[in-house]
Every structure is written in structure tokens, then in C-alpha cells.
Structure 1
Amino acid sequence: MSHLADDKAKLLGRVRRLRGQMEAIERAVDGEKDCGEILHLVASVRGAIAGLTNELLDAHLQHHVLDVDDEEARRRGVEDLSSVLRSYLK
């Protein structure tokens, strides 16, 4: 994952925003807010997770599939991605 070091601050920013969004959901549920408000908060988390996932998928494809000369390493990169996609799409 050393290739992620270049984008570490950006990725951590996304993760921290997600944490804040999850805490907002917790506060809303604990405070017995309107279900519509909670659904909007959940939808925003889903969008943020999708954005983080897309960024990580792009980085994985670039650094573990496209830019790899070693066929065995490329195969492992594809297998890793395939496994993640199977889990993600369940």
C-alpha cells in the first residue's frame, strides 16, 4: 500500500468525514430525530463510502494491475480485485 502514501492525507480526510457522518447518524438516532432526516444522513454516508471505494479501486487497478510487468503479480492484483468485488456486490 505504499502507493497510497501519496494520497494519504486525502484518504484520511475522507475517512474522518465518514466518521463524523456516522457520529451524526448516532446522535440523530439517539436524539430520536425524524426518520427522513436519518435516511438523508445514511444516504450521505453511502455516497461518501462509494467515493472512497472508487478512489481505492482506481488506485488498486493502476498500481496492482495496469502498471505491473510481472504476470504473477498482475494475476494476484486481479484476483484481489475480483474477491473484493464479489464481496462488495453481494
Structure 2
Amino acid sequence: MSHFDKEKAKLVARIKRIRGQVDSIERSLSTGDDCADVLMLLANVRGGINSLMGEVLEDHIRLHMMTPEKNGLPSQELAEDLIDLVRAYLK
């Protein structure tokens, strides 16, 4: 399995975990669980989505924006700064 295939498998596994969390929210709402419990489940899903979005965005910057054959792209240092900013925003 190539590096990209391993990374893809990790991302798919994360999506499956998020799907399970969403299913848990549905069950909680259906059974009338406490609002605080539902809010905690919602926060967990939001965290999972934000983390996944950060990972995909980071991969896009590293793999597509930082290719040597492209002209006019930012330096590696600027890209690292962008990644740090996005990660901070998504927390």
C-alpha cells in the first residue's frame, strides 16, 4: 500500500468514526436523552469534522501548492505559517 493509500485509509476511518458519532446523536435525540449529553455529542462531532478538515487542507497545501514545478507559489515557510493558522482556527 502506498503512502497516499495509507493516508486515504486513515481519512476514511475518521469519517466512519464521525458517522458513528452522528448515529449516536440520532439515538440520543430519539430516546430523549438530556440536552447536555446531546450537546456533548454534537461538540465531539464538530471536533472530528474540524480535525478532518484541517488534515485534508494541510495535505492539499503540502501536496498541491508546494510542488516545485508550479511558479509563483509561497515559500515553504509561508506554507507552514498558513498550516499553523488554519489549525489554530479549526480548534
TM-score (norm 1): 0.71
Coordinate RMSD, CA, aligned: 2.1
Gaps of 5+ in 1: 75-84, 86-90
Q: Deviations over 1:46-87 (max 9, x none)?
A: 100011011001000001111242238x6xxxxxxxxxx9xx
Q: Residue 70 of structure 2 aligns to which amino acid in structure 1?
A: D
Higher helix share: 1
Structure 2 Cα separation of the partners of residues 46 and 68 of structure 1: 35
Q: Deviations over 1:8-64 (max 9, x none)?
A: 111011000000000000000011110000000000001000110110010000011
TM-score (norm 2): 0.70
User: Alignment identity in percent?
Assistant: 38
| Residue aligning to 2:77 | none
Q: Residue 37 of structure 2 aligns to which amino acid in structure 1?
A: E
Structure 1 pair 32–60 and aligned structure 2 pair: CA distance change class (3 A)? same
Q: Which stretches of structure 1, 4 residues or more, deviate above 2 A after TM superposition?
A: 3-6
The alignment of Structure 1 onto Structure 2 pairs a total of residues equal to: 72
| Residue aligning to 1:29 | 29
| Residue aligning to 2:48 | 48
Gaps of 5+ in 2: 74-85, 87-91
